[in-house]
Structure 1
Amino acid sequence: MAHANLDKTTRRILTGKTPFFACTDDPRFSFGLYVPSCHSFDGPYLPLLVVVHGTRRQTGGYLTHLKEFSERHRMVVMCPLFPAGIIDPFDVHNYKQLLYRDIRFDLVLLSMLAQAARTWRIDVDTFFLHGFSGGAQFAHRFLYLHPARLRGVSIGAPGGITHPTSAHAWPTGLADACTVLGIEPDFGQIGRVPVQLLVGEKDTDTSMISRDDLAGRNRVERVRYLHRALASREVASVLNIVPGVGHDGMKCLPVVEAWLGPLLL
């Protein structure tokens, strides 16, 4: 894009909380950003935090809640939108497992990053990733496949977990990840990524999650399990149990910000 030719209105719209932009490689998907006021189209590259929504797709809420964090740390925030009902009109879940029919949701995200880098001065070679609930399912599976792209990953209260072992097939485990997804997880590289695991201490309701998961009966147990399972693969992680909080991604954001802030220094 010829940034010198942008009019004032366009420049204003491309700073702060932006509109959602269609993904040019697959317009069924889109993304919005919060771009801090320090951003300049011919200035230094800014770090990026990608926040993947949960099942209810509260993308706008995350961009609003992270505005002050973005301004304070001179960091761009991106929220991809994977709409419900793609292919299957009643589907609300399939982005969480990265692969559904011919859609690779991890590659859609990487395409969005490349597109955004053609407009804004963002470092997309490596970025921070946070997901809560359904977004956390996406985030920890993305970690298995693309650790070299991550500066850090925050995984909040996933309802379903891919075990970091070859005891089960994808998406329950990694036994056939190379065959199904074309990537063999590299735990040496995964172990170099800073990882945060978090869940509200009262996040014990099971009405929205499967009840036959070997990782535990509820999200608290499953996060604790994932913490132990990653450690068994020599992947260190910070475990935060958020006092007094149930299944609420917005109330967990201050804990995410507190973990993320020192990584930006």
Structure 2
Amino acid sequence: MSDTVTATAAEFDLRARAIYDLGNSTIYASRSDPRFSYCTYVPPHIGSAGSRPMQLVVVMHGTGRAFTEYRDAFAEFAKWNDCIVLCPLFPAGPKGDGNRDGFKQLREGDIHYDEVLLDMVDEVATKFGCDFSKFALFGYSGGGQFVNRFGYLHPERLWALSVGAPGSVTLLDFSQDWWVGVRDFATRFGKPLNLDALKTLPVHMIVGKADIETWEITHKEGGKFFMPGANDAGKNRPERLGSLRKSFEAAGVKVKLDVVDNVPHNGMACVDKVQDFFAATLRTMRSTSAAS
């Protein structure tokens, strides 16, 4: 009788795993801070004989929090490239004030969004028995602001970085303070910016050529993020991303830039080129690993 019960329980666990964890997962609360959640896509063939070790791709939502849509958009890429996709949800107003933008700056009061994300990465790595000491990171719009800044704070944790159409950019500029530049980076974050690691990181930037509306991204005096130089990178997203690219390249960081014709502010219209960049980086990374 006990064997039957044990077998039934094991079968239940396998069936539940197949339904809720493999393919498009359900939504899980973060173990480190249940105010924040995530979903994943996990190729159903994970762990099968002859399959390659999984790599991780993290996709950061923007202000609209379309995290499941981004997960679904990366599912086929993940299946054919042996990757797990992790999409965090940082909801608006976790401190009860309705703030939609706190995550973009990495820190909001005592919330360290970069650390919440890193714990989600470790949680998913443990769940599926993977080594995610490095992962790829893409974000668009508000997510582009997050990944721009996360790339400065944790470049050693990334194997690729793709910055998509941020409304505001933090330039790799040591003559201006955060958030416009990085002069006070070490004081603010308690660690120096690891420029050597950033120089070895494959970096991609992408924006639609028609992404020229400015109503949401022009900083005005008295605004919560206004500071001297807040609008100096350019008047629209293509100009600001161009300034970000120039600041990277001036510091010795190579960047692949895609400006997509006939595309306004639409992240889903840009994911194909992001996936092409990640796939090319994966091929190089895996061939180098195999050769060594």
* Deviation for aligned residue 1:41: 8.6
Q: Is the 8 A contact 1:76 1:122 kept in 2?
A: no
**CA positional deviation for 1:88:** 3.9
Are 2:112 and 1:94 equivalent residues in the alignment? no
Displacement of 1:127 after TM fit? 0.4
Partner of 2:247: 229
- Where do residues 171-250 of structure 1 align in structure 2 (5 Å cutoff)? 171-211=179-219, 212-250=230-268
Query: Judging changes above 3 Å, is the alpha-carbon distance between structure 1 residues 5 and 192 closer, same or farther for their aligned structure 2 residues?
Result: farther
Does the 8 A contact of 1:46 with 1:121 survive in 2? no
Q: For each residue in 1:4-44, what CA deviation from the matched residue of structure 2 results, as whole angstroms up to 9, or x when unmatched?
A: 98332233321000011111111111111000122129976
Instruction: Determine the C-alpha separation between the residues in 2 that align with 1:204 and 1:236.
Output: 25
1:35 aligns with 2:42: yes
Structure 1 residue 92, shift from structure 2 partner:
0.3
Q: Which structure 1 residue ranges, 5 or more long, are not aligned?
A: none
2:22 corresponds to: 15
CA 1:40 to 1:4, structure 2 compared with 1: closer, same or farther past 3 Å? farther
1:55-204 residue pairs with structure 2 within 5 A? 55-204=63-212
Query: Is the 1:45–1:121 Cα contact (8 Å) retained in structure 2?
Result: no
1:85 CA displacement: 0.9
Please name the residue that 2:223 is paired with. Answer: none
Indicate the structure with greater helix content: 2
Amino acid at match of 1:83: P
The structural deviation recorded for 1:89 is 2.6
Q: Please tell me whether Structure 1 or Structure 2 has the larger radius of gyration of its CA atoms.
A: 2
Root-mean-square deviation (Å)? 1.8
Residue 103 of structure 1, CA deviation: 0.8
Q: Determine helix, strand or coil for the equivalent of 2:127.
A: coil
How far, CA to CA, are the matches of 2:54 and 2:262 in structure 1? 34
Aligned equivalent of 2:278: 260
The Cα of 1:170 is off from its aligned counterpart by 1.7
Change (3 A) 1:210 1:35: same
User: Does residue 47 of structure 1 match 2:55?
Assistant: yes
Give CA deviations for 1:212-248 in whole Å, capped at 9, x if unaligned: 5111000000111111110010001001001110100
Q: What CA distance in whole angstroms lies between the structure 1 residues aligned with 2:198 and 2:88?
A: 23
1:6 is matched with 13
TM-score, structure 2 as length reference: 0.86
Secondary structure at the counterpart of residue 118 of structure 1:
helix
Equivalent AA in structure 1 for residue 171 of structure 2: H
Question: How far apart, CA to CA, are the structure 1 residues paired with 2:121 and 2:172?
Answer: 26
* Equivalent residue number for residue 269 of structure 2: 251
Q: Distance in 1 between matches of 2:145 and 2:87?
A: 15
Cα distance in structure 2, aligned partners of 1:113 and 1:4: 27
Residue type of the alignment partner of 1:252: C
